[in-house]
Amino acid sequence: MENLQTIAQFEELKKGERTLFVFSADWCGDCRFIDPIMPEIEEKYNTFNFVKIDRDQFIDQCIELDVFGIPSFVAFHKGNEVGRFVSKDRKTQQEIEAFIEGLTI
């Protein structure tokens, strides 16, 4: 999974097809909990471009998108938000996969 480097990159990536932003932070225990399963999820849903956003580095982007809990997921397709799985709760592999499968793109 690539790491977001700039706001300009975010703006460009969200215009693409099937982009899934994963909001996380190094200090977040629930984020570390899903780290080992994310490669399998990325492989299973390889039509999506997964991009990790460090919550601390891009706090203004989090505020703009109403992402106040992590880990969280926000999906974009051709510039439009098509789904969000945003909360402060720990997420399971099954919950993440159900969210992705429920996206209508």
Q: Which position among 25, 31, 70, 86 bears the catalytic label?
A: 31
In the residue annotation, 28 being an active-site residue is answered as yes
* 19 neighbors 49 (Cβ within 8 angstroms): yes
Q: Report residue 2 as tokens.
A: 């690539």
Q: For this structure, is 31 an active site residue?
A: yes
Helix (H) or strand (E) holding 39: helix 38-44
Q: Catalytic pick from 28, 34, 70, 96?
A: 28
Which one, of 2, 29, 13, 17, lies nearest residue 61 by Cα?
13
Active-site annotation, residues: 28, 31
